[in-house]
Amino acid sequence: MPEPSTDQIQARGVDRMLVRLEHLDKLLNLAGEVIITSSTLHELQRDMVDAVTHHRPMTESDLQIIKSADETSARISQDLHDLVMAIRMVEIGETFKLFRRPVRDLGRNLKKEIELKFEGEKVLVDKALAERLVEPLLHILRNAADHGLETPIERIHENKNETGIILLKAAEHEHETEIIISDDGRGINEQKIVEHARKLGLIRFGEQPDLLQVLCISGFSTKEKATDTSGRGVGLDLVNTMVSEFGGTIDLENQPKHGCTFRLHIPKLKAVNIIDALIVRCSNTLYALSIDQVVSLQGIKPDQIQASMDRERFIKYLGNPIALFDLSELLGGETSVQDNPEVVPVVIIEGKKERIACVVTEFLAPSKLVNVPLAKEMFDRDVTGIAGTCIISGGRVGMTVDINTVVAMATGEPLKTEEEHKNDSAFSQSVTSKTEKDNFVFNSSVPDSTAIKHSQDELITKAKLSAQRDRIANRIEESSQKDLTDTDISDLLTELSRGLMELQDVLLSLENDKAPELMKEAFRRLHAAKGNFTMLGVGVSAGLAHELETLLDHLRKGRIEMSQELMDVLLDGVAELNAATKMLPQQTPEVNSALLIRINLVTKSLEKNEPITDPDQLLGTAFTLVPTVELQLLGALKQGAQAYETFIRFKSGRQAEFLVAYLTLRKLCYHGTILATLPSISDIENGYCGNAIKVLWASPLKPDALKEAIDRWAPLFNIAEHQSVPTTVFRYDSNAEI
């Protein structure tokens, strides 16, 4: 397969990246060698002028100097090229880390336990390629999570661990980089895929197509209804298109009930814009053909050119017919003039899917060329099939042929217009529309709307005041940005972007491992981000970073426990900071009031960690029910029970209060169903209880009979007083604690 240039695969410019000091040292050494070689050639040029002027022949020494300079120049050119390519290389593990948050959120949305594992993180790939790999890998990961992995109960039924595994692996081979995405899920039901494709008319009856080809058909999906995760039938089609743009291929290994594996084979980039090319001449025009896509050169006689009904002209190559075209005509020029009518020069070239033969006027020598990408807006005619221009030895100008496009035009394969490419890109963006704020966040978690509604009235004032304070701070600190140069601002933004990426990775590790060093690293990254935003004069973002620091401090001191909701708020806060980084310096970020409310909700939840033990406070606190408790209550009422709020206060006695409370609750269970308690049952079991409890429960007893029953066994449980009130008013909240 042809090896693409970085110009062909870059989706967006790589304007900044880290460079190792050892690479800079090598670059300086090569620069020194260039200066020495240039000086040598300058002295040689003076000697040659002197020899020509005085009709003196060249000496053996002069010839040796020319040979040495030529060899040195060739070596320096190759070393420079290799060094530039090495500078552009990054570890693919940095790309892999981008998927930790998306897979985590996918698991939550799909109600599946998913573990993402990495292997081969040290494999080096070109920076531009690493960026372009994000979208195709994300599509495959989404499919693995949605279609491949089973729910926990399905996995247990199949004698599997309830946590599904997705492996993302990179392997380096001599001429290619292999990216492997595998899962241990249910695999692909090939029969179902083929039947559905036949039903849609995509394949003929009796035909057994390649499974991967069917899956990559645009618009094909087995889901009847599209969701946020999948179902539109374009994901794998886009993956196939993007990998083809890299000059790569995809393999699929399917094992029903054991999972499937996608293998992406991507050729290594050997040049930034340098190509090994065969030079050919068509009449008076020179063309450069990438040697990697040249199959054979032939000199054939005119009578070897044949014609048929479905092919205008073809020749035989290794016993097989290959369509014959004129290269100049394919590129919009005139028919190539033949210098020798008895022998026709033909070059066989290979595109992505097929080979063709092209008539030229003359074969010239292979050469290493520098390709200059073509600015198509400079031409008043179609230049499809021309990739760029190049300077050929002797100062002649040639054109670099885009062989894939030429073969596609010759074989009638539809070419995507620029507008269609834009539509593909737009779809890719819409698939991950929730990532626009931050390209390494898949889906920002949104808190339960009911919970926000219940708390919004009491928090909205605080949020507005906080927003107003941040806006004022932003206006005040804008003046500090005037002291920064454009380079300073660019450096700060680059550092911010990298630091926030690393912060997200630390937080994801912190979710499962509250190691002190991880906590310390998270604080350090967040504090650095706050400082950088302050230097940039962005008070809104600096204030948000401070709020996130406060949450981390509560977590570190044990005031709140690690939970998915807390991690969602922290990660979404980091995403908001990253979005601000991408806006700057053109736009100033605005306050995200919804996020501030969520942070306030988490902070407010600290009060829940202090159990209510005061009897008066218990009397004034309302019960909040989760939906499952509501169903229990409705079931009890349906059977004729009555809902009661019962308040019980104990005398100060010999036994521990929490033990008396627990025994009292067990006694109440004989007369009905307990729905909720204050303090909560878990707090009572852990010893957090005063000398009073309040119980929401359902009992078939009438109020008088209930009072009589409690009066009977009150002395045994050291009860000082009790009141039971029938109730029918409740507040429901899915975040409430039972």
80-104 residue pLDDT tens:
877 877 788 888 988 898 888 888 8
pLDDT digits (tens, 9 = 90+) for 20-52: 778 788 888 888 888 888 888 887 888 788 778
Does residue 294 share a domain with residue 363?
Answer: yes
DSSP string of 89-155?
EEETHHHHGGGHHHHHHHHHHHT-EEEEEEE-TT-EEEHHHHHHTHHHHHHHHHHIIIIISPPHHHH
Does residue 698 share a domain with residue 685?
Answer: yes
Is the pLDDT confidence value at 547 over 70?
yes
User: Residue 594: pLDDT band by 50, 70, 90 thresholds?
Assistant: confident
Query: Would you state the pLDDT for residue 431?
Result: 39
Tokens of 693: 């409890």
Does residue 321 share a domain with residue 385?
Answer: yes
Is the pLDDT confidence value at 481 over 60?
no
Tokens of 434: 């929730």
User: Residue 270: pLDDT band by 50, 70, 90 thresholds?
Assistant: low
Domain count, the chain: 5
- Specify if 419 maps to a domain: no
- Per-residue pLDDT, averaged over 669-676, amounts to 88
Is the pLDDT confidence value at 712 over 60?
yes
| Single-letter residue type at 456 | Q
- Specify if 438 maps to a domain: no
Does residue 497 share a domain with residue 605?
Answer: yes
- Residue 542: give its domain's CATH number: 1.20.120.160
- Residue 647: give its domain's CATH number: 3.30.70.1110
Percent of all residues in the chain with a pLDDT value above 90, rounded to a whole number? 9
CA distances from 224 to 166, 196, 231, 616 (A): 25, 11, 7, 57
Does residue 354 share a domain with residue 483?
Answer: no
* Long-range own/partner contacts, residues 195-203 (CB < 8 A, 24 or more apart): 196/220, 196/222
Query: Would you state the pLDDT for residue 219?
Result: 57
Does residue 116 share a domain with residue 254?
Answer: yes
| Number of other CB atoms surrounding residue 342 within 10 Å | 8
Looking at per-residue confidence, does 54 or 731 come out higher? Answer: 54
Looking up tokens 């004729």 gives: 640
- Specify if 231 maps to a domain: yes
Is the pLDDT confidence value at 440 over 50?
no
- Residue 343: give its domain's CATH number: 2.40.50.180
- Per-residue pLDDT, averaged over 7-13, amounts to 41
Cα–Cα dist 312/414, whole Å:
20
From the list 709, 467, 499, 701, the residue with the least C-alpha distance to 591 is 467
- Of 31-35, 54-58, 710-714, which gets the smallest average pLDDT? 54-58
Does residue 627 share a domain with residue 702?
Answer: yes
- Per-residue pLDDT, averaged over 408-424, amounts to 62
Q: Look up the domain containing 307 and give its range.
A: 277-411
- Specify if 473 maps to a domain: yes
Does residue 259 share a domain with residue 370?
Answer: no
User: Residue 313: pLDDT band by 50, 70, 90 thresholds?
Assistant: confident
Cα–Cα dist 661/474, whole Å:
53
The three-point CA angle 211-214-215 to 5° equals 85
Domain boundary among 575, 609, 643: 609
| Number of other CB atoms surrounding residue 18 within 10 Å | 9
pLDDT digits (tens, 9 = 90+) for 486-534: 777 887 788 888 888 888 888 888 887 777 888 888 888 888 888 888 8
Does residue 235 share a domain with residue 137?
Answer: yes
Does residue 250 share a domain with residue 140?
Answer: yes
Is the pLDDT confidence value at 324 over 80?
yes
Does residue 286 share a domain with residue 254?
Answer: no
Query: Would you state the pLDDT for residue 188?
Result: 86
- Specify if 30 maps to a domain: yes
Domain boundary among 609, 639, 660: 609
Query: Would you state the pLDDT for residue 424?
Result: 47
Cα–Cα dist 163/512, whole Å:
14
- Residue 135: give its domain's CATH number: 3.30.565.10
Tokens of 533: 């935003």
User: Residue 272: pLDDT band by 50, 70, 90 thresholds?
Assistant: low
Cα–Cα dist 275/8, whole Å:
13
Is the pLDDT confidence value at 154 over 70?
yes
Tokens of 568: 């969602």
Residue 64 class from Cβ within 10 Å (0-12 exposed, 13-18 middle, 19+ buried)? Answer: exposed
φ/ψ of 433, rounded to 5, equals -60, -25
- Specify if 738 maps to a domain: no
- Of 140-149, 249-258, 271-280, 396-405, which gets the smallest average pLDDT? 271-280
| Single-letter residue type at 438 | D
- Specify if 247 maps to a domain: yes
- Per-residue pLDDT, averaged over 219-234, amounts to 53
- Per-residue pLDDT, averaged over 621-626, amounts to 73
Identify the DSSP state of 413: P
- Per-residue pLDDT, averaged over 8-17, amounts to 47
Residue 359 class from Cβ within 10 Å (0-12 exposed, 13-18 middle, 19+ buried)? Answer: buried
Query: Would you state the pLDDT for residue 143?
Result: 87
Does residue 601 share a domain with residue 460?
Answer: yes
Cα–Cα dist 84/78, whole Å:
10
User: Residue 441: pLDDT band by 50, 70, 90 thresholds?
Assistant: very low
- Specify if 442 maps to a domain: no
Domain boundary among 590, 609, 628: 609
CA distances from 302 to 21, 112, 325 (A): 60, 67, 14
